[in-house]
Structure 1
Amino acid sequence: MRSRAWFPAIVAGVIGAAAALGGLGIADALPLSSTSAVGPAAVPSPGPGAFQPVTPVRVLTTQQSSGKIKAGETRVISIPQVPFNATAVSISVTAIKGSASGYLKVFPAGEAQPVSSTVSYSVGQIIANHATIKLGIGNKLAIFNSAGSLDVNVDLQGFYRQGSVGRFTDGYIKVLPNGSMEISQSTEGPATSVKTNVGRYRVTFPGGYFGSAVVSPNTTLPGIGCAVASVTTSIDVACYDSTNKPIDVGFSMVFSV
């Protein structure tokens, strides 16, 4: 197993966020003013490849700049607050009062859209989610909106540097409602999955570790959500309906290892 200086801090951050869920839905657990669930509040003297937290700064407010993002539109934004050798950013993405139910995908500018969404929203809802996204050329990100029009806020909470310790690698998996793995794509090798209870799944990554993950349910029905429940050498995912009742829907996950 390779050394990951930043991994324990990320695990602590994710577990803290999972504890905060405590029966809440995604909309409650990830408020507009939420701080980062990925990475610690402070990391002393981060080295190459380490996570560097920053004082949260808003890098996009469509209400005050470029206007609402329309259906089918991809908006490209720059992240000038990170150094030239940054490889990925930890951000909070907030969907604000969409005119239709839909989802946002945030991904490196200049690259193909990922399969999984970053945050899903219902009509008129304000909902945020955290993500670690690889930066595109020129430290740029792309934001795609699937339906209607809405305002979007993006808050920067930290970044990763290029270096010898740690490496950001995109991966994608899709887990079926019965817990079986339908798709597993990663340069580290295939992940495995198992259903542990109603609406509960466990994913084990090659080498027994991961960097960060964003999950979304395999359904477009409103009110259905999935979230990271706990992290050990694997990652546990919980899926639930609008009443917080566990539900077998399966999920998609974009992750770094």
Structure 2
Amino acid sequence: MNSFHNENLISACQNGSVDEAKKSISNGASVDYQDQDGNNGLHYGAMNGKVEVLRFLVSNSIPLDVLNNDGKTALHLACEKGDKECIFFLVTNGASVEIKNKSGQKPGEGNMEAKMLLNNIVCEEKAFNILPPAQKAKILEIFYDVDSDGQKQIDLSKSKRFNKYIDEQINDGGIEKDAKDFIKACAVCNKETVNIDEWIFAFSKLYAVDQAAFDKFVDDYDKAVEKKGKLKNLEFEQ
């Protein structure tokens, strides 16, 4: 019976269905299950660009650097795919960039764009997993408030709305500039939106270098909530 549920888990990960993956595990599938090619759910999520599957599996303590029969980790496969969101998620959650596959290649070798992305992320490794649980939970709370439509990304419009929410005295020019500066500084994968992992990473870096600035950001948000209520529940012009 477990074999059936294990195969269902693999299928769910290939298709990007987190709900089906949850169901398979609740029915007895092993999150660590590897098929005949040595691929587990993380491999299949990575090779199919299913970052939500990766997030779910990592939350269920799947090892990040399991090798398949070709000696490849999920990060190898994400780099071959060139999927920036999967690459970003895996690396910032601790996937190794040093493991060589059976061809002697590290992740990203053979894909210059992926290699450059890896280098840009790894140089900030001091911020990996630095946020204490309470601070990470708070940053996620703020993200979900700003992300009013639940798309798990912050675009220029949402950033401008947040700026006005935090500082009612800011003028339109300041709102526009600050929003553009935020997107430019934090967006890595497509340069136009900040996804949930980039958001966490941006504030992890801030926490690493200036905890006072991090605390002020959170405090300003809490004051706005106390005064006006949650941002996503408000209606006002940008």
Report TM bin, short chain.
under 0.3
Largest Rg, 1 or 2 = 2
What is the TM-score when the length of structure 2 is the normalising length? 0.26
Structure with more relative contact order (C-alpha pairs < 8 Å, separation 6 or more)? 1
TM-score by length of 1: 0.24
Q: Which has more helix, going by share of residues?
A: 2
